[in-house]
Structure 1
Amino acid sequence: MRTLTGRAGRAGPPRAVAEGYRAGRTLPVRVELIRQLKRRRTLVMGGILFALPFVLLIAFAVGGEPEGRAGQVSLMDSATASGANFAAVTLFASAGFLLVVPVALFCGDTVASEAGWSSLRYLLAAPVPRARLLLSKLAVGLGLSLAAIVLLPLVALAVGTAAYGWGPLELPTGGTLPTDTAAARLALTVAYVFVSQLVTAALAFWLSTRTDAPLGAVGGAVGLTIIGNVLDEVTALGDWRSFLPAHWQYAWLDAVQPQLDLTRMIQGTSLSVTYALVLLALAFRGFARKDVVS
């Protein structure tokens, strides 16, 4: 038998542990992933994202050719030009709010739901080290968020190609991108959308470690993201808006231009990663000192 000291932040008598115990082998990511995949909210959210391109396809079939605002040319005008255009439009229509929901759900529900079920204390008594528990849950939450963000444009690309054919990406400013270039640009767009959502993911995860109510963590992350979007529309804030993650969420539109310009996407990525790292550090630090009674 070996001994294990008390939990972080408190002195305590050594505890006996079984031979062969390895902290790094507790709560494997594979086990946590299977648990989360079997949950009803995961299946429902996946079904919604899978169905959205079909909803847009029906809307275009019923309403006719999409039209932009008077005097303005937008990506929406070319939605039915090809499968690539349809995928880009689907991403444009959902990136502002819809994709925030699965990210907040998968990252905000993960720890708080265990507390709500009164199973968190039993996981820690297994014993699963606190940092290990958070790492496993964060990895699965981010993995499911990435899967959600990838699923939507992939289904849209397949649906759009079946309905409108496979062809080049028609740009709103004129000109086209060849199919291979268009595919690479769409992949870059999806990657940037995921990175831009890291702030929401980290915020939801931090709130999940602070509350026993999953709805509070998920709703808080979504609500604060919406507030950020509203503040970004306040032009009176001037240059202060550049410190808001929402200010850079559509920087990926630079990827659907004739000449690729990564400047704004790099700025948005730097801001998003910085905020995310700070929030995750707060989550790990706070949870290490938290008295878990649920």
Structure 2
Amino acid sequence: MRRPLSPSVELRRQVTRPRTRWSYLILLALPLVVVGAFTLGDDESGGQSFADLATTGAANFAVFMLIITAELLILILAALFVGDPVPAEASWSSLRYLLIAPVPRGRLLTSKLLVGLVLTAVAVLVLLVWVVLVGGVFYGWGPLSLSGGETLGWGEVLRRLAVGAGYVFVAQLPFAGIAFWMGVRTDAPLAAVGVAVFASIVSSILDALSALGDYRRALPNHYAREWIALFAPDADYGALVPGVLWALLYATVFIALGYHHFARKDVLS
């Protein structure tokens, strides 16, 4: 075994875990639940928000679903897929055996990190494709209706949806990094996920404090909703750059801290 615990092996192990299957099932069930809620609810508001326009077609439904899932469901999945694998191995008492197999610590962490990021990216992609299909089946395939009365054709909508979904993935990297860092410090998987979610809540509270002024720009989720502006008549893709750079910076720092700590971790603890 020249390369034990390769990313492909780790991918098979993580995909077959019940928590992965349940996560994707919840992801697939949520749009159907929302459709049921719209069916039972009173749709007479006549407003022009994304929620009011969600039932006008597949494009609007897809944008609405990305908005309501990006900052909680995708965040939890990213923290779970990236932060859970190491403490799960520790809680199963199998981590020590992996490390003396021998599996180099750097390779073990890299395999688990890459697989966690891949599962998160696939979750965002599956959600995007699924909400478009569900929206088309229940609400038709009309163009995207904007708040000002304009519409966007499907060619432009698909491009902006792809960029928006990619940005949603990148925006969760800081909290995935926090979960990864905490995951190598505990043998309780829920602790790693909980700390990442708590960090997101604290960041959102601080971002709402206008007294902080421009300091809020350095918060990990200050730019998390910038992608919504893509669905204006004139999309400004350049506005996404600060959010991408801050997300990559936070993710790099916390992932590096995780590697630094794990390299010195007692395998018996």
Q: TM-score range by the shorter chain?
A: over 0.9
Residue 225 of structure 1 is matched in structure 2 by 200
TM-score (norm: length of structure 1): 0.88
Distance in 2 (CA, whole Å) between partners of 1:181 and 1:245 is 29
Is the contact between residue 193 and residue 249 of structure 1 (CA under 8 Å) also seen in structure 2?
Answer: yes
The RMSD of aligned alpha carbons is: 1.4
Residue 31 of structure 1 is matched in structure 2 by 9
Given candidates 214, 230, 254, the residue that maps to 2:189 is 214
TM-score (norm: length of structure 2): 0.96
Distance in 2 (CA, whole Å) between partners of 1:258 and 1:226 is 31
Is the contact between residue 195 and residue 272 of structure 1 (CA under 8 Å) also seen in structure 2?
Answer: yes
Worse-matched range after superposition: 110-119 or 258-267: 258-267
Residue 247 of structure 1 is matched in structure 2 by 222
Residue 49 of structure 1 is matched in structure 2 by 27
Distance in 1 (CA, whole Å) between partners of 2:33 and 2:268 is 45
SS at match of 1:259: coil
Given candidates 108, 123, 126, the residue that maps to 1:148 is 123
Which ranges of structure 1 fall in alignment gaps of 5 or more residues?
A: 1-20
Given candidates 108, 112, 118, the residue that maps to 1:137 is 112
Distance in 1 (CA, whole Å) between partners of 2:264 and 2:243 is 32
SS at match of 1:292: coil
Distance in 1 (CA, whole Å) between partners of 2:33 and 2:11 is 29
Aligned AA (1:107): V
SS at match of 2:73: coil
Residues 242/173 of structure 1: CA separation in 2 closer, same or farther (3 Å cut): farther
Distance in 2 (CA, whole Å) between partners of 1:233 and 1:172 is 25
Distance in 2 (CA, whole Å) between partners of 1:129 and 1:214 is 22
Residue 285 of structure 1 is matched in structure 2 by 260
Aligned AA (1:55): V
Is residue 100 of structure 1 aligned with residue 78 of structure 2? no
Tell me the CA shift for residue 173 of structure 1.
Answer: 3.2
Distance in 2 (CA, whole Å) between partners of 1:133 and 1:96 is 29
Residue 63 of structure 1 is matched in structure 2 by 41
Residue 234 of structure 2 is matched in structure 1 by 259
Distance in 1 (CA, whole Å) between partners of 2:148 and 2:202 is 31
Q: Deviations over 1:78-131 (max 9, x none)?
A: 101110110110111111212111111111111011011111110011100000
Q: Which structure's residues are more often helix, by fraction?
A: 2
Question: What aligned pairs does 1:9-24 form with structure 2 within 5 A after superposition?
Answer: 22=2
Residue 235 of structure 1 is matched in structure 2 by 210
SS at match of 2:115: helix
Worse-matched range after superposition: 206-215 or 187-196: 206-215
Question: What aligned pairs does 1:165-244 form with structure 2 within 5 A after superposition?
Answer: 165-244=140-219
> Number of residue pairs matched?
269
Structure 1 consecutive aligned stretches of length 4 or more whose deviation exceeds 3 Å: none
Tell me the CA shift for residue 158 of structure 1.
Answer: 0.5
Q: Deviations over 1:131-166 (max 9, x none)?
A: 000010001100111111222222111110001111
Worse-matched range after superposition: 134-143 or 146-155: 146-155
Worse-matched range after superposition: 184-193 or 162-171: 162-171
Which ranges of structure 2 fall in alignment gaps of 5 or more residues?
A: none
Given candidates 94, 97, 114, the residue that maps to 2:89 is 114
Residues 259/136 of structure 1: CA separation in 2 closer, same or farther (3 Å cut): same
Q: Deviations over 1:174-209 (max 9, x none)?
A: 311111110111011000000001111111011101
Tell me the CA shift for residue 66 of structure 1.
Answer: 6.7
SS at match of 1:26: coil
Tell me the CA shift for residue 277 of structure 1.
Answer: 0.5
Distance in 2 (CA, whole Å) between partners of 1:127 and 1:194 is 33
Q: Matched residues, percent identical?
A: 48
Q: Deviations over 1:236-259 (max 9, x none)?
A: 211111111221110001211111
Worse-matched range after superposition: 147-156 or 196-205: 147-156
